[in-house]
Structure 1
Amino acid sequence: MSLLQLTDTQISTWVASFILPLFRIGAVLMTMPIFGTTLVPTRVRLYFALAITVVVVPGLPPMPQVHALDLSGLLLIAEQIIIGALMGLSLQLFFQAFVVAGQIISVQMGMGFASMVDPTNGVSAAVIGQFLTMLVTLLFLGMNGHLVVFEVLTESFTTMPVGSAMLINHFWELANKLGWVLGAAMLLVMPAITALLVVNIAFGVMTRAAPQLNIFSIGFPLTLVLGLVIFWVGLGDILNQYQPLATEALQLLRDMAQAR
């Protein structure tokens, strides 16, 4: 009775066909919003990455033969981590646009001091920014944005095979989109800023017309209340503001992955 004979090449091929996709998928899950936050334990993210890898590996193109302790194998692993991290960070830009928008609105309406610890990132952020982040998270999950991310991630193994990705182009694409965050945030808050500017101008006219009026005693609470009302009215159009930004963010992800 003969025993099963396995060569080093066969073992290396089997290991590479699973390990290399695992590092790219794991890097995406560790850096992307929602799944990559501190609210999701690292062990859960690792189990999730293992489960996705087991499902998608049979349909992936053949992986290059590498040796686990060879320098070329370590470079391929580093390449997969960088590609996955860039894909995750491109989605972070989309969510940070709403955080910046909330911060701008908070400062304009006098609620810049109202901040709380962000449970997702562990830093202090404005309350309105936290509200917008939770709202966008629900919209992203409700419209199956996470499924689009997983689809692009799976297709990236065909469009950017292991060992042939051009990372410089992806760094350049991501750097060009950094200014997009501030521009998107300004588009989100422009109606609220304009309305609050009119309110402040009205307070200035009142001060000139009645100098004895203590504008500071009534200006701050009135600005706060009017700011909340303006923000509440603006939420009625949040879906129309969310859709083009989400489309732009997912298109950036597809462009980076060179997907269809």
Structure 2
Amino acid sequence: MTLEALAPELGLFVLQTSRVGGLIAAAPLPWKEAPVKLRAGLVLTLAFLAHGMPGASPLEPLNATRTLLAVPTEVLVGVAMGLVVRIAFSAADVAADAVGPLIGLAVPSVFDPLTLSSATVLSRIFGLLMALLAVLVGVHRIVISSVLASFRVLPAGSAIDPSLATFPLLKMVVSTLVLGLRLALPLAAVLLMTQVALAFLSRAAPAMQIFSIGFAVSLVVGAGILMVSLPDVASGMAADLSSIGFRIEVVVAALMGR
């Protein structure tokens, strides 16, 4: 095989690697904490699998100029697909940030390796729960199969406008905010009633110094309600995670102009 015949295949592999790399970089799945070499190997392996799929080649042959111009687009396509997963995972942060100040766990923070920033203790707990549920639901398999299937309906090197994915992603952000607040609502309601009860008690008996024990009471009540409501919270998270495959299909359809 001559170099001229090999060049289009190499360009196609570069574009497929770019899309998969964008997905791996954006999706907050367990591979985010893996070593760089392992992640690079995963990207190359998935790109190699995509390269051998029937129907994954563009309609027009690739040249060097077209390949270089298409690399940023393919990266953005992969990032858009990865953002679907990241947005779904953000429901845990929304719920934790809504409840954390009421329990009293908004001040202490720990380092979150997924976002490379500090997170509250409750956010970390909910984040770990979301990651565990993602593994149980099989989100990693859904994401990998979705990115491989995207090369059939949207071959690498196709004329794509990444901005078409903006509106579906914004709708997913709104849905995630609603889900996070819905998950936090039972906890927040009980904790709010606890705060109101403490306020009335301090008003009725000022000598009891309610505010000196208010934090402990809120913490104990919050921990108890959290343990009781955790199965329902996990059920809501799992139901949302199970729709990630459909959401990725929506983004891919939007990129196709449908």
Q: What TM-score comes out, normalization by structure 2 length?
A: 0.90
Name the aligned partner's letter for residue 88 of structure 1. Answer: G
Query: Would you say the 8 A contact 2:103–2:219 is kept in 1?
Result: yes
Between the aligned partners of 1:74 and 1:211, the Cα distance in structure 2 is: 73
| Secondary structure at the counterpart of residue 198 of structure 1 | helix
- Higher mean alpha-carbon deviation, 166-175 vs 77-86, is at 166-175
User: Are 2:38 and 1:44 aligned?
Assistant: yes
Name the aligned partner's letter for residue 176 of structure 2. Answer: V
Equivalent position to 1:255, from 246, 250, 256: 250
Name the aligned partner's letter for residue 211 of structure 2. Answer: F
Question: What is the CA-CA distance between 1:36 and the residue it aligns to?
Answer: 5.4
RMSD: 1.8
User: Are 2:117 and 1:150 aligned?
Assistant: no
Query: Would you say the 8 A contact 1:13–1:66 is kept in 2?
Result: yes
Deviations 1:78-107 (A, max 9, x none): 111010011111110111110221122211
Partner of 2:98: 104
Between the aligned partners of 2:122 and 2:63, the Cα distance in structure 1 is: 51
Partner of 1:76: 70
Deviations 1:25-60 (A, max 9, x none): 1111111112453x2222211111111122232114
For these two proteins, the number of residue pairs brought into alignment is 251
Q: Which segments of structure 1 move beyond 6 Å, counting only runs of 4 or more?
A: none
Aligned-pair identity in percent equals 24
Partner of 1:208: 203
Query: Would you say the 8 A contact 1:91–1:250 is kept in 2?
Result: no
Question: What is the CA-CA distance between 1:156 and the residue it aligns to?
Answer: 0.8
Equivalent position to 2:2, from 3, 6, 19: 6
Deviations 1:145-172 (A, max 9, x none): 1111111111111222231334232122
Between the aligned partners of 1:47 and 1:119, the Cα distance in structure 2 is: 21
Query: Would you say the 8 A contact 1:152–1:257 is kept in 2?
Result: no
Partner of 2:24: 29
Query: Would you say the 8 A contact 2:137–2:242 is kept in 1?
Result: no
Partner of 1:67: 63
Name the aligned partner's letter for residue 183 of structure 2. Answer: L
Unaligned runs of 5+ in 1: none
Deviations 1:96-137 (A, max 9, x none): 110221122211111111211112222110111111111111
Between the aligned partners of 1:116 and 1:226, the Cα distance in structure 2 is: 23
Equivalent position to 1:161, from 144, 155, 158: 155
User: Are 2:197 and 1:197 aligned?
Assistant: no
Question: What is the CA-CA distance between 1:235 and the residue it aligns to?
Answer: 0.9
Q: Structure with the greater relative contact order (CA < 8 A, sep ≥ 6): 1 or 2?
A: 2
Task: Report which of the two structures shows the higher radius of gyration computed on alpha carbons.
Answer: 1
Between the aligned partners of 1:74 and 1:36, the Cα distance in structure 2 is: 27
Name the aligned partner's letter for residue 67 of structure 1. Answer: N
Query: Would you say the 8 A contact 1:101–1:185 is kept in 2?
Result: yes
Between the aligned partners of 1:60 and 1:238, the Cα distance in structure 2 is: 41
